[in-house]
């Protein structure tokens, strides 16, 4: 049996991942306003800055990055965006580049979210180029991968997810996963009432870790797998019971500050 597939290897891998702080990334989507954010950022600053075991990131609509920088600079809370251009500058009307995001202190950039891939027909190749730009400007990509309901019912979810990961490797090489986050977000769980079960999440997180380890020959230091799709304060308790989970990507529940605080508290104490 190769070391990569052995139970001992999984144990060592988990021990190593456990050392990292849990990542709690809010996907604010197309929500907020200057006045809403002012209250929201102030509450985040006051109540979320004391979590010791978490890296918290707020992925915002572009226009509010400057406001986030003003409110959250010099706190432990990071911010970033939900997309980026695959180009760095030039005639690309309506696009926002990685260096522009960096100008506003962005740390996290969501890339490949299914709401974008579906609505704007984003190809795996485009996503890979965006991923490369995020890394080039020393930000952390939050790469969303996940299967549709039809694909899950057909039992091909692992094949779907591995091909999404392989598309990144094909263009950028495997090393880009160092200091990166992969968010397992099954499309059927996003914006629904049903999160994936802890067992489904656990199985897929382990699959992704094993897959990336094979690509890396088991040699990486800082890489996280988080789960997204209808995370709330109730299911967070079960989700964080899983050793394989390094954090969560929270959509709707991140807008509600009390709900978001509960999720963070659960992660902090898990």
Return the closest-CA partner of residue 110 out of 87, 89, 149, 139. 139
CB of 247 to ligand PGA, least distance (A): 12
Return the closest-CA partner of residue 113 out of 135, 83, 144. 144
Nearer to ligand PGA, 100 or 231 (CB): 231
Dihedral Cα 31, 35, 36, 37, nearest 10 deg: 80
CB of 35 to ligand PGA, least distance (A): 22
Contact pick of 27, 233, 235, 244 for ligand PGA (by CB under 6 A): 27
CB of 264 to ligand PGA, least distance (A): 14
Examine residue 126 and tell whether it contacts ligand PGA (CB under 6 A).
no
Nearer to ligand PGA, 215 or 236 (CB): 236
Q: Of 113, 115, 122, 151, which residue is the catalytic one?
A: 113
Contact pick of 122, 147, 151, 185 for ligand PGA (by CB under 6 A): 185
How many residues belong to the site for ligand PGA (CB under 6 A)?
13
Which residues from 213-232 bind ligand PGA, rule CB under 6 A?
228-231
Examine residue 191 and tell whether it contacts ligand PGA (CB under 6 A).
yes
Examine residue 252 and tell whether it contacts ligand PGA (CB under 6 A).
yes
Examine residue 196 and tell whether it contacts ligand PGA (CB under 6 A).
no
Nearer to ligand PGA, 85 or 248 (CB): 248
Examine residue 147 and tell whether it contacts ligand PGA (CB under 6 A).
no
Nearer to ligand PGA, 134 or 213 (CB): 134
Examine residue 251 and tell whether it contacts ligand PGA (CB under 6 A).
yes
Q: Of 115, 151, 185, 259, which residue is the catalytic one?
A: 185
Nearer to ligand PGA, 173 or 191 (CB): 191
Q: Reply yes or no on whether 74 is catalytic.
A: no
Q: Reply yes or no on whether 113 is catalytic.
A: yes
Q: Write out the chain in H/E/C secondary structure.
A: CCHHHCHHHHHHHHHHHHHCCEEEEEECCCCCCHHHHHHHHHHHHHHCCCCCCEEEEEEECHHHHHHHHHHHCCCCCEEEECCCCCCCCCCCCCCCCHHHHHHCCCCEEEECCHHHHHHCCCCHHHHHHHHHHHHHCCCEEEEEECCCHHHHHCCCHHHHHHHHHHHHHHHHCHHHHCCEEEEECCHHHCCCCCCCCHHHHHHHHHHHHHHHHHHHCCCCCCEEEEEECCCCHHHHHHHCCCCCCCEEEECHHHHCHHHHHHHHHHHHHC
Residues making contact with ligand PGA (CB under 6 A): 27, 185, 190-191, 228-231, 249-253
Q: Would you please indicate which residues are annotated as catalytic (active-site) residues?
A: 113, 185
């Amino acid at each position: 049996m190769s070391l990569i597939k052995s139970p001992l290897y999984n144990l060592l891998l988990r021990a190593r991942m456990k050392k990292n702080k849990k990542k709690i990334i809010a996907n604010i989507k197309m929500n907020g306003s200057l006045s809403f954010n002012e209250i929201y950022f102030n509450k985040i600053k006051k109540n979320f800055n004391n979590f010791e075991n978490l890296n918290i990131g707020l992925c915002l609509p572009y226009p509010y990055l400057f406001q986030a920088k003003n409110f959250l600079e010099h706190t432990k809370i990071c911010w970033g965006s939900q997309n980026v251009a695959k180009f760095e500058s030039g005639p690309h009307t309506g696009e926002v580049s990685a260096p522009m995001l960096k100008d506003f202190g962005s740390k996290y950039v969501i890339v490949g979210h299914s709401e974008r891939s579906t609505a704007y027909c984003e190809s795996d190749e485009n996503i890979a180029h965006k991923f490369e730009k995020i890394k080039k400007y020393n930000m952390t990509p939050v790469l969303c991968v996940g299967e549709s309901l039809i694909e899950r019912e057909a039992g091909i979810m692992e094949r779907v997810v591995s091909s999404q990961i392989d598309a990144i490797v094909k263009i950028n090489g495997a090393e880009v996963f160092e200091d990166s986050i992969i968010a397992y977000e099954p499309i059927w769980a996003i914006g629904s009432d049903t999160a994936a079960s802890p067992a489904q999440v656990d199985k897929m997180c382990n699959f992704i870790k094993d897959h990336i380890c094979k690509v890396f020959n088991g040699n990486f230091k800082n890489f996280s797998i988080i789960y997204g799709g209808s995370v709330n304060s109730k299911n967070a308790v079960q989700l964080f019971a899983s050793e394989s989970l390094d954090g969560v990507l929270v959509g709707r529940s991140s807008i509600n500050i009390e709900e978001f605080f509960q999720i963070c508290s659960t992660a902090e104490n898990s």
